Homo-oligomer: A and B are copies of this chain.
Amino acid sequence: MTDKDQVEQLYAMRHSTAHILASAIQQLWPEARFGVGPVIEDGFYYDIEVPGKQLSKEDFWKIEETMRAIITRNEPFERYEKPIDEAITWAEQTNQPYKRELLNDLKRAGTTEASKLNSAELGAIADGEAQIEQVSFYKNGNFVDLCKGPHIASTGGVGAFKLIKISGAYWRGNEKNAQLQRIQGVAFSTEEELRDYLVQVEEARQRDHRRLGQELDLFVFSDMVGSGLPLFTPRGTVMREAILAYANQLRERNGYQKVHIPHLTKRKLYEASGHWDKFGEELFLVKSQETSDELVLKPMNCPHHAQIYASRPRSYRELPVRYLETTAVYRDEKTGELAGLSRVRAITQDDSHVFCQRGQIEQEISSLLEAARELYITVGMTLRVRLSYRDDGDAYLGEPELWQTSQEQLKKAVLANKLEYFEETGEAAFYGPKIDFMATDALGREHQVATVQLDFVQPKRFGLTYTTEQGTTEQPVMIHCALLGSVERFMAVYIEHSAGKFPVWLAPEQVRLLCVNQTEPIVEYAKKMVVDGHELGLRIELDDSNESVGKKIRAAESSKIPYTVVIGEKEVASGEVVPRIRKDMAVMDVPLAVGADQFLKTVANEAKSRVLKTSL
């Protein structure tokens, strides 16, 4: 079977499972009325109304049993057609008002209009030409449904399924209509696939960064501050700064220099850069009460960095000029679109801009690719890149020859870095070709993260120049790059990827000491270890509370602390500790029992090396 055949087969099977769900409902509650029952990602749903009865998850067991019986009976799916008026009569006689409404609309509208009905409804009606005359039905056992198919041959062909959710759903999505009940299920070819799916869903739920963000005390939201505007707690800030420092360090070693720009700016700057035309509606407008200035919150940093470049004459000798800045850009997102850290209104970028000669593009791109590769290896995600080129259209600015040679330089840099890649023509930005990085996380989900973009347009718009060795004036090329992209979004992805089990270099608390009791020698010894740890730059904390050791250990576990050390009389007497290592982590580079100093030094080295010891 080809991939396409497999996809179609799975689609038909899921659709058939929706019919089986409806058959079961009809057997259990013969008065039930049916809306539509389409295929969705991983499964299906059916919208149902049982007069006088509110279904709940409690009913799932009974419904599933009935469905299983239908599957065991292996009832064939029989297709037949009826003229549309007979179909309407059928709907009336069987007391199916929603089906009747669909049929009436279909008759009135004809095919052309019918294509405007939502796809779920279209799934239930016949393919027609100019005028609908016949509609198709499918029947299994005693259950008959208006349906355009396709279906599998018989109910026994259903693999594995599970009902997962029940919720209210307005008929045809309109809140003025009756509210039906939507029963949602998933279906797969095999029990094994279903089990894998359910495990992954539970895993994703456990890893949800909003849930972990609260449990691990990383960030909070406040109604008074507003949605999409997270507040990072001390623990979240430690992580945030550690990630940012690393992303910066990977570029600083290649000659990038930090700069600092204001978040507020005259809108004139973005009119000059061209962003105003493109993003005008997504901008936050700022009203000055004291002046007539028309200000905005910056949606981009490149025009500011270009202003710094332009602030004095530049010679070919100082190129490439490389600026780097961690700073926020602002997007006026609709409140409904905001979710945890994935989508925020103040987006912190690890943004960098290179101003270089044409001949320097490949080298600059290559060093950025190397930095990105190192970063994503360190966090344990696999990367592939998309090379986005121009097509033959006229939507692109800049000389075609420059595009041609630049695209070649991008590809050479990707090949030199041995990155998995694919190419797409027509996906370039209008101002230059680009490379996008896709990282696959521990759940197998792919996220677009870093990006490297060439820009031939802004240097021109802002009149940027440099003096060549020959004394002539040339325009530099700009290279935009963010290795993390949005820090908030990166953290959302990373928290879910790591399930909150952060490696030592990112863990807000790296070591926790637990005192077995509150006697002075033990507490003093632990306090001394804390001081020693701080001197080594460790994030080490002390639990000398009145709780039992068991309870303290469980608290440290649920906080996912990499190393926990119990301090009792034995430890004080011997000067040795027996570190408890978080379960997902490989063992330490030290013996089971180790001198307290040696233990702290080993952890400090582990933090510096950013070694990935966790199995994600």
Contacts and interface: CB of A to CB of B under 8 A. Distances in A.
Interface residues of A, number: 62
Given A264-B284, A282-B289, 5 more contacts: A225-B266, A226-B264, A233-B311, A234-B258, A282-B290
A247 B199 CA distance: 49
Contact of A284 (B220, B233, B295, B312): B295
Contact of A263 (B268, B291, B346): B346
Nearest to A317: B545
Contacts of A335: 290-291, 293
A237 B262 contact: no
A311 B224 CA distance: 12
Nearest to A233: B308
12 contacts: A222-B310, A222-B311, A224-B266, A224-B272, A229-B264, A231-B304, A233-B259, A234-B323, A238-B257, A264-B284, A284-B295, A287-B287
Interface string A307-331: 1101110000100000100001010
A268 B222 CA distance: 11
Interface in A309-361: 310-312, 317, 323, 328, 330, 332-335, 345-346
B261 A232 contact: yes
A613 interface: no
Interface string A34-45: 000000000000
A225 B259 CA distance: 15
Contacts of A217: 312
Contacts of A333: 290
Nearest to A238: B258
Given A289-B283, A293-B335, A545-B317, A237 B224 contact: no
Interface in A250-278: 257-266, 268-269, 272
Interface in A202-238: 217, 220, 222, 224-226, 229-234, 236-238
A119 to B, nearest CB: 28
Contacts of A297: 263-264, 286, 297
A285 interface: yes
Copies in the complex: 2
Interface in A292-307: 293, 295, 297, 303-304, 307
A281 interface: yes
A286 B284 contact: yes
A241 interface: yes
B220 A311 contact: yes
A257 B231 contact: no
A469 B456 CA distance: 65
A240 interface: yes
A142 interface: no
Contacts of A311: 220, 222, 231, 233
Contacts of A241: 258
B284 A288 contact: yes
A426 to B, nearest CB: 29
Contacts of A334: 290-291
A233 B303 CA distance: 14
Contacts of A237: 257-260
A257 B283 contact: no
Nearest to A332: B290
Nearest to A271: B224
A330 B291 CA distance: 14
Interface string A91-117: 000000000000000000000000000
Interface in A14-63: none
A330 B262 CA distance: 10
Given A307-B224, A311-B220, A260 B240 contact: yes
A334 B288 CA distance: 9
Nearest to A273: B224
Nearest to A303: B224
A348 B378 CA distance: 33
Contacts of A345: 262, 264
B225 A262 contact: yes
Contacts of A283: 289
Nearest to A265: B225
Q: Which of A225, A240, A311 has the most CB of B within 10 A?
A: A225
A616 B153 CA distance: 93
Nearest to A241: B258
A237 B261 CA distance: 10
Given A269-B224, A290-B332, A335-B291, A261 B231 contact: yes
Nearest to A311: B220
A44 to B, nearest CB: 34
Contacts of A332: 288-291
A256 B304 CA distance: 33
Contacts of A226: 264-266, 293, 295
A217 B257 CA distance: 14
A263 B328 contact: yes
A257 B241 CA distance: 12
Contacts of A257: 234, 237-238
